[in-house]
């Protein structure tokens, strides 16, 4: 069934199944906007006349009916003649939109904000983030001067401002103060008289170890409120200022599982049960949207567990983080797991040992070859016939498939087995991971249509099981591979937070043969810079940069990094770098440099041919 979608938060428009509808007349857009603002209630013909004209002409009622008829044909282009409309219906002497709450961006945002009220911070955060993403401009911005729009725009602006502040509260509770600073910087500029925004920004700065900046924000808030409104700050804001100056512990993040565990570990009363509970809860927090918070508290729990001197307890805490392998990496956890393996008693269960081995392989992602540990964990899991353990071990083997380029087919196989196991055993987290692995592998294998099918299944699972971070991957895939809308800046997901937006734009320009633009490439900077230097006439600097360049990390960006090195080698005349790139990329000759699903440089084979000619390499290559 076709799905109608209407947008009023920004440029007014409508689409059916992603195809834009042609709302060419301003009257069509205004009537649609008035009906959206009515939230499904009936708007009389007389009110439409009053809203559309200050001095209604003769025949205004007939004109409204004509506009309604035209609008119906636009919104339901496949409706047969003389059949009743379904979306824009006649009710008595008026009209109403009969649509679900998901069909209109404003309605979706309002519903998400209402649902978030009273929920836990972990539940509120993705709801409010999704709500705010609906805004692509101000509400009904085309009709800013129209009388009917003024009151509507006022309450919608209040809705959005409240959602921003509620989201800031949730992220503070989840231990994400830096995200709150980024969120509120623009908010207080737009709403300088909302004291709550100032207070939350100051608290976020304080929790980001920036007490001086926090005090400056409180001072600026006081000045703004007194000079522009003539009112004194509330006791709450003044109390925050005093608390910052004396570094009141009450301003720190409220007690959570990890901090409680650390304080009570030496008391030995009830802590074991708390540790076991944390092992269950932290993975749920991570896959529900709070990756960094869960990771921080996991380290606290591991530290507390190791204090007991019980290696099997420590092993359960260390190996109990069931999240997709590409979401976690920690040398400290690898060290803790290896310490625990070395002191496990002879009678320890194979299941515990397998989880530790898989954890070592998983947490070494991109930094060390741990195929032996991953293979042993998988062997134990298969012998035990434990689907959950096998999914965990396969996830560990997956992150170890990047020791060289060209393993997309292997990853596709791992993804398929993960999906089959997870579906049979009802393990949604691992089904999502299996489909993510498959989607990314299909991008490298140039089967974008099949990858799109996987993306749709991932989004359905993410919605069904409240796994919002999974849709971060699919949003990037659609932007890069299917011309979808750009994904939002910033993310809880490791690897997406810094530099990826500019890298994706840069690689798109490379692929299109367009002029390359500098940017903030974050961790990808070393592999972008030589090509940028070479393409801007600084070949000598580019060649020198290539000579000192380290081997790229063994992760999803491996082929992309070597591809950029190869292009820079040709552009700068550095044949040694060209040969290194050729040999690194040769195993991926039949693939595409796009296996991350978030960045794409196109087929690898043409570059290999260029490198052969550039380096004057013989048949032995």
CA distance readout (Å), 5 to 38, 43, 99, 110, 156: 16, 20, 9, 16, 19
- Residues 282, 214 share a domain: no
For the CA atoms of the chain, what is the radius of gyration?
28
Better-predicted residue by pLDDT, 469 or 217: 217
Domain count, the chain: 4
Q: Which residues pair with 44 in a beta bridge?
A: 94
Say if 34 falls within a structural domain: yes
First to last CA, the chain: 54
- Residues 264, 246 share a domain: no
Give the separation between CA 378 and CA 418, rounded to whole angstroms. Answer: 12
Which of 80-94, 187-201, 213-227, 594-608 is the most confident on average? 594-608
Give the separation between CA 457 and CA 477, rounded to whole angstroms. Answer: 13
What integer pLDDT is reported at residue 262 of this predicted model? 39
Tokens at 557, concatenated? 């960006």
What integer pLDDT is reported at residue 264 of this predicted model? 39
Give the separation between CA 376 and CA 393, rounded to whole angstroms. Answer: 9
Say if 494 falls within a structural domain: no
Residue 606 has pLDDT above 50, yes or no: yes
- Residues 329, 433 share a domain: yes
Q: Domain ends where: 421, 449, 482?
A: 482
Say if 181 falls within a structural domain: yes
Q: Domain ends where: 251, 280, 314?
A: 251
Question: Around Cβ 151, how many Cβ atoms within 10 Å?
Answer: 10
DSSP one-letter string for 136-178: SSSBTGGGTTSHHHHHHHHHHHHHHHHHHHHHHHHHHHTT-HH
- Residues 516, 440 share a domain: no
Average pLDDT, the chain: 85
Residue 490 has pLDDT above 50, yes or no: no
CA distance readout (Å), 113 to 150, 158, 187, 195, 270: 21, 12, 17, 20, 38
> What percentage of the chain has pLDDT greater than the value 90?
46
- Residues 515, 406 share a domain: no
Q: Domain ends where: 251, 266, 283?
A: 251
Nearest to 609 by CA among 591, 586, 592: 586
- Residues 282, 168 share a domain: no
CB 441 within 8 A of CB 411: yes
What integer pLDDT is reported at residue 282 of this predicted model? 63
360: three-class secondary structure by DSSP: helix
Residue 293 has pLDDT above 80, yes or no: no
- Residues 110, 182 share a domain: yes
pLDDT tens-digit profile of 328-380?
667 778 888 888 888 888 888 898 899 899 989 888 877 778 889 999 999 99
What integer pLDDT is reported at residue 37 of this predicted model? 92
Residue 255 has pLDDT above 50, yes or no: no
Q: Which residues pair with 139 in a beta bridge?
A: 9
Say if 492 falls within a structural domain: no
Q: What is the mean pLDDT of residues 24-35?
A: 94
Residue 254 has pLDDT above 60, yes or no: no
Say if 495 falls within a structural domain: no
Residue 619 has pLDDT above 60, yes or no: no
CA distance readout (Å), 378 to 341, 387, 415: 16, 11, 15
Asked whether the whole model's pTM tops 0.85, one would answer no
Question: Around Cβ 342, how many Cβ atoms within 10 Å?
Answer: 8
What integer pLDDT is reported at residue 261 of this predicted model? 40
Please state the three-class secondary structure of 546-594 as a single string: HHCCCCCCCCCCHHHHHHHHHHHHHHHCCHHHHHHHHHHHHHHCCCECC
- Residues 125, 90 share a domain: no
Tokens at 551, concatenated? 């081997």
What integer pLDDT is reported at residue 621 of this predicted model? 37
Q: Identify the domain containing residue 50 by its residue range.
A: 4-105
- Residues 294, 434 share a domain: yes
- Residues 347, 309 share a domain: yes
Give the domain CATH number at 192.
1.25.40.10
Give the separation between CA 377 and CA 394, rounded to whole angstroms. Answer: 9
Q: How confident is the model at residue 297 (pLDDT cuts 50, 70, 90)?
A: low
Which of 125-139, 218-232, 339-353 is the most confident on average? 125-139
Region label for 301, one of left (φ > 0), alpha (ψ between -120 and 50) or beta (otherwise) = alpha
Give the list of residues 6+ apart from residue 520 with CB closer than 8 angstroms, or none: 498, 499, 502
Residue 259 has pLDDT above 50, yes or no: no
Better-predicted residue by pLDDT, 336 or 304: 336
Better-predicted residue by pLDDT, 571 or 173: 571
Give the list of residues 6+ apart from residue 311 with CB closer than 8 angstroms, or none: 340, 343, 344, 345, 348
- Residues 454, 599 share a domain: no
φ/ψ of 230, rounded to 5, equals 70, 30
Q: 160-175: buried (b, 16+ CB within 10 Å) or exposed (e) per residue?
A: bbebbbbbbbbbbbbb
Say if 565 falls within a structural domain: yes
CA distance readout (Å), 283 to 151, 174, 273, 292, 297: 44, 14, 17, 11, 11
What integer pLDDT is reported at residue 323 of this predicted model? 65
CA distance readout (Å), 601 to 163, 364, 511: 38, 27, 6
Say if 141 falls within a structural domain: no
Give the separation between CA 5 and CA 14, rounded to whole angstroms. Answer: 5
Say if 458 falls within a structural domain: yes
Q: What is the DSSP letter of 255?
A: P
pLDDT tens-digit profile of 78-126?
888 888 999 999 988 899 999 988 899 999 999 898 888 867 788 888 8
- Residues 233, 263 share a domain: no
**Residue with token string 């190791």:** 306
Residue 263 has pLDDT above 50, yes or no: no
CB 161 within 8 A of CB 191: yes
> What percentage of the chain has pLDDT greater than the value 70?
88
Q: What is the mean pLDDT of residues 193-201?
A: 90
Q: Where are the alpha helices (DSSP H) in 385-447?
A: 387-399, 408-425, 428-444
Give the domain CATH number at 8.
1.10.10.10
CA distance readout (Å), 407 to 398, 414, 442, 560: 10, 11, 11, 14
pLDDT tens-digit profile of 413-454?
999 999 999 999 988 889 999 999 999 999 999 999 999 999
Q: What is the sign of the dihedral through the CA atoms of 34, 37, 42 and 46? A: negative
Burial of 495 (0-12, 13-18, 19+ CB in 10 A): buried
């Amino acid at each position: 069934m076709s799905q109608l979608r209407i947008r009023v938060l920004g440029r007014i428009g409508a689409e059916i199944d992603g195809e834009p509808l042609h709302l060419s007349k301003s009257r069509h857009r205004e009537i649609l906007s008035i009906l959206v603002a009515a939230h499904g209630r009936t708007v009389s013909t007389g009110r439409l006349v009053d809203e559309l004209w200050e001095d209604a002409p003769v025949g205004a009622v007939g004109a409204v009916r004509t506009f309604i008829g035209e609008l119906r044909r636009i919104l339901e282009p496949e409706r047969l003649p003389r059949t009743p409309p379904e979306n824009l219906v006649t009710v008595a002497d008026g009209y109403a939109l009969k649509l679900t709450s998901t069909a209109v961006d404003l309605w979706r945002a309002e519903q998400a904000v209402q649902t978030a009220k009273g929920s836990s911070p972990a539940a509120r955060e993705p709801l409010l983030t999704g709500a705010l993403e609906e805004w692509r401009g101000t509400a009904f911005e085309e009709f800013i001067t129209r009388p009917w729009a003024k009151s509507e725009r006022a309450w919608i602006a209040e809705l959005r401002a409240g959602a921003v502040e509620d989201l800031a509260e949730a992220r503070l509770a989840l231990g994400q103060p830096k995200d709150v600073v980024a969120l509120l910087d623009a908010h207080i500029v737009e709403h300088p008289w909302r004291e709550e925004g100032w207070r939350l920004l100051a608290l976020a700065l304080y929790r980001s170890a920036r007490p001086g900046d926090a005090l400056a924000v409180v001072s600026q808030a006081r000045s703004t409120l007194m000079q522009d409104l003539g009112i004194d700050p509330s006791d709450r804001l003044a109390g925050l200022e005093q608390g910052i100056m004396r570094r009141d512990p009450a301003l720190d993040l409220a007690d959570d599982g990890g901090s409680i565990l650390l304080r009570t570990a030496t008391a030995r009363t009830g802590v074991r049960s708390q540790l076991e509970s944390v092992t269950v809860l932290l993975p749920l927090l991570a896959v529900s949207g709070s990756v960094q918070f869960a990771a921080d508290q996991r380290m606290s729990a591991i530290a507390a567990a190791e204090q007991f001197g019980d290696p099997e307890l420590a092993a359960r805490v260390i190996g109990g983080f069931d999240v997709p392998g590409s979401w976690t990496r920690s040398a400290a956890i690898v060290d803790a797991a290896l310490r625990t393996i070395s002191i496990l008693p002879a009678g320890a269960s194979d299941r515990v040992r397998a989880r530790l081995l898989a954890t070592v392989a998983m947490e070494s992602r991109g930094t060390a070859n741990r195929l032996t540990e991953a293979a042993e964990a998988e062997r134990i899991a298969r012998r035990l016939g434990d689907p959950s353990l096998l999914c965990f071990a396969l996830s560990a083997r997956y992150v170890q498939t990047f020791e060289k380029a060209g393993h997309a087919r292997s990853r596709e196989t791992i993804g398929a087995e993960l999906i089959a196991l997870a579906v049979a055993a009802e393990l949604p987290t691992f089904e999502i991971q299996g489909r993510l692995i498959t989607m990314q592998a299909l991008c490298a294998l140039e089967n974008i249509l099949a990858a799109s099918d996987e993306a749709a299944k991932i989004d359905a699972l993410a919605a069904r099981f409240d796994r919002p971070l999974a849709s971060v991957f699919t949003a990037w895939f659609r932007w890069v591979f299917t011309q979808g809308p750009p994904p939002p800046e910033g993310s809880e997901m490791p690897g997406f937070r810094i530099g990826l937006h500019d890298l994706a734009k840069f690689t798109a320009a490379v692929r299109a043969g367009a002029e390359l633009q500098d940017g903030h490439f974050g961790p990808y900077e070393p592999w972008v810079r030589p090509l940028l230097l070479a393409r801007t006439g600084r070949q000598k600097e580019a060649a020198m940069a290539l000579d000192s360049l380290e081997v790229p990390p063994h992760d999803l960006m491996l082929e992309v990094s070597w591809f950029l090195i190869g292009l820079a080698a040709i552009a700068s005349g550095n044949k040694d770098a060209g040969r290194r790139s050729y040999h690194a990329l040769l195993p991926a000759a039949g693939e595409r440099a796009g296996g991350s699903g978030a960045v794409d440089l196109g087929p690898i084979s043409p570059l290999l041919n260029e490198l052969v000619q550039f380096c004057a390499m013989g048949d032995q290559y």
